[in-house]
Amino acid sequence: MKTKAKKKRTKEKAPAVTLQEKLKDCFDIDKLIQRFLAVWCAVNIYVICESPVMFTEMKYAFNIDVLKYALVILMGFIGMSALSYAFDKYPIDSWGMTVGFAGFSACVLMLHRDFWFCLSMIILAAIMLNFLLKTDKLGFSRLKIGNKATVTIVCVLAVFLFSVIAAITCLRYATYSSPNFDFGLFVNMFHHMRETGLPITSSERDMLLSHFAVHISPIYYLLLPLYFIFPSPYTLQIGQALVLAGGVLPLYLLAKHKGLSNKMTILTVIAYSFSPIIICGTSYDLHENCFLVPLLLWVFYFFEREKYLFMYISAALVFCIKEDACLFVFFFGLFVFFSRRKRMHGAILCAVSLIYFVSAVLILTHFGNGILSSHFKNYMYEDNGLLGMVRIILTNPAYVFAQTLNAEKLPYLMYVLMPLGFLPLATRKVSHFILILPFMLFNLMTSYVYQFSIDFQYSYGAISCLIYLAIINSSELGGRARRYMMSLAAIASVMCFFVTAFPKLDAYVSRYVKSKETFEILDEALESLPEDATVKSSTFFVPHIADRDEVYEIKSENETDFVVFDMRPALINETTELREKYINEGYITYKNVPGYVLILQNPNNQ
């Protein structure tokens, strides 16, 4: 029998580190600076939280015991030096500075919720990140994250995103902060859809009318099974949260397909899950636009995987969102045609998108309420309509640039690009910028203020294109540039979260806890209305009584069985004359809770 000779492996012993060398390394100038910053940040977090004076006030510094402050920093510095010396194989100082700065940033951003302050903190973070990644001071290159761990983290982030959106939107409804536009009308629509299968609303145009006469949005039927089982306004808010959190799946698959490592994939999902555009776009309740994010991401993913049948199915579902949603597919078709040189698929996507858009516009113009071209009234010269807009764009580019890039839109522009690490701009391929055109057209060129606000739903289509562009650009960058820009995206997204989304959540929680009894009184009063009665009501009450055939806003001319007035101190004066009008007409008090609600009953419908 042949036996394999075993090779003797001799381990070379590393030369022993002398005490002098260990001390020299421990007190290296780089480590000393990082150690001081770590302790300084930690101490300042404590002082800021304990101080009765806001840190933005000058007298804050004079409210601090300087001797005690310096002593605590010194003690912390000595303690951390001991740790650094004892665990010299680990980057204690670098991690200490990172964690300290992260905690300090979160603390001050939660207290001072200002865009410019947030921007300055992100700039500081960008400088620190460059310092840390330049020589891998945090040891990220040695950090290994397996597939199972990655999936677990991604799922946790998806649950976080769902929970935040669901909490904000459900608390909006629970605290009577959701008006008829744009929530009461959808509660009424889903009531009709559950009863008859038709998207009828009464409070949208002050008459019984199909919502599809305003917007062609059959995509809402995807939420109907959930609402059919759980017929509640909360179901609609939770459904929207599920839709947006569902965007994590195609995002994850797209990142993995483009060759991003597990670490880069996690950073991508962090940037998405904390994005102020994704979360704050739900600030005015339910909108069909929320479907744009996951469905467009599925379109992009199936294209990248060359699963064209599923790509076209996903594109068809995008068409079902709204009459103008097909334009995002049109621009993607241009990208496919010119950048990826898939001529046939690009031409089909463009042609079908244009045909659908023109058809939808004609249907709404002749059979519905028309399209909202007023959103671009800064391009509507006299009576030239959309053709006049095209003429202005082609012949007066300076005017377009002036309308697109100005001080008013800068905060919005930064809130979009910072949580993406400016990756949509990080390419030398001119054809990639085709995917930026929807952002310019829908959000920057317009004078309609809501379309360049993070608090409205109008950014969902454009942000989906930019997310896709960020992923494909990052996959083409060098390793160091990719790590830096994607890390910056995740950091900026989290920082922006603290000055945009977190204040909303904090405000609604505080409002609910503080005024819970008020909301219970309102709930009890509104529940006393007969289910089959017709009602007109103050706008913030409409969503709570919209589960009926006919409900209108308070100023409606339609005759109803009941009229409901919001009598809360902040709103009581808005309807003084209207109340007197109905009382003079002989309306009878059905229920009166002073300071809360007044319900009058029509004497002809007792």
Q: What is the reported pLDDT for 374? A: 65
Locate the DSSP E strands across 389-507. Answer: none
For residue 227, what are the CA distances in angstroms to 220, 231, 523? 10, 5, 21
Rounded distance, CA 292 to CA 279, Å?
14
Rounded distance, CA 151 to CA 155, Å?
6
* Residue-wise pLDDT tens digits, 179-190: 999 899 999 999
Helix (H, G, I), strand (E, B) or coil at 591: strand
* pTM for the whole structure: 0.93
Q: What is the reported pLDDT for 353? A: 97
Helix (H, G, I), strand (E, B) or coil at 549: coil
Cβ(336)–Cβ(349) under 8 Å?
Answer: yes
pLDDT at 387 over 80: no
* Residue-wise pLDDT tens digits, 209-251: 999 999 999 999 999 999 999 999 999 999 999 999 999 999 9
Helix (H, G, I), strand (E, B) or coil at 210: strand
pLDDT at 388 over 50: yes
**Quick one: pLDDT band at residue 401, thresholds 50, 70, 90?**
confident
Residue 437: both structure tokens together: 């055109």
Residue 585: both structure tokens together: 């007409």
Rounded distance, CA 550 to CA 531, Å?
10
Rounded distance, CA 562 to CA 565, Å?
10
* Residue-wise pLDDT tens digits, 309-340: 999 999 999 999 999 999 999 999 999 999 99
**Quick one: pLDDT band at residue 462, thresholds 50, 70, 90?**
very high
* Residue-wise pLDDT tens digits, 533-580: 999 999 999 999 999 999 999 999 999 999 999 999 999 999 999 999
Rounded distance, CA 322 to CA 318, Å?
8
379 or 296, which is more confident:
296
pLDDT at 19 over 80: no
Q: What is the reported pLDDT for 5? A: 46
* Residue-wise pLDDT tens digits, 96-119: 999 999 999 999 999 999 999 999
Lowest average pLDDT, out of 57-61, 501-505, 523-527, goes to 57-61
Lowest average pLDDT, out of 315-324, 362-371, 393-402, 410-419, goes to 362-371
pLDDT at 2 over 60: no
Rounded distance, CA 327 to CA 349, Å?
10
The bridge status of strand 209-210 relative to strand 562-566 is: unpaired
Q: Across the chain, what does the average pLDDT equal?
A: 92
Rounded distance, CA 182 to CA 115, Å?
27
* Residue-wise pLDDT tens digits, 580-596: 999 999 999 999 999 99
* Residue-wise pLDDT tens digits, 39-94: 999 999 999 999 999 999 999 999 999 999 999 999 999 999 999 888 888 899 99
Tell me phi and psi for residue 382, to 5 degrees: 55, -125
* Residue-wise pLDDT tens digits, 165-179: 999 999 999 999 999
**Partners of 210 in the beta sheet?**
200
> Could you check whether the bond before residue 561 is cis, i.e. omega within 30 degrees of 0?
no
pLDDT at 25 over 90: no
* Residue-wise pLDDT tens digits, 109-159: 999 999 999 999 999 999 999 999 988 899 888 889 999 999 999 999 999
pLDDT at 24 over 90: no
At 331, which amino acid appears? F
pLDDT at 261 over 90: yes
CB burial of 212-238 (b: ≥16 within 10 Å; e: otherwise) equals: bbbbbbebbeebeeebeeeeebebbbb
* Residue-wise pLDDT tens digits, 556-566: 999 999 999 99
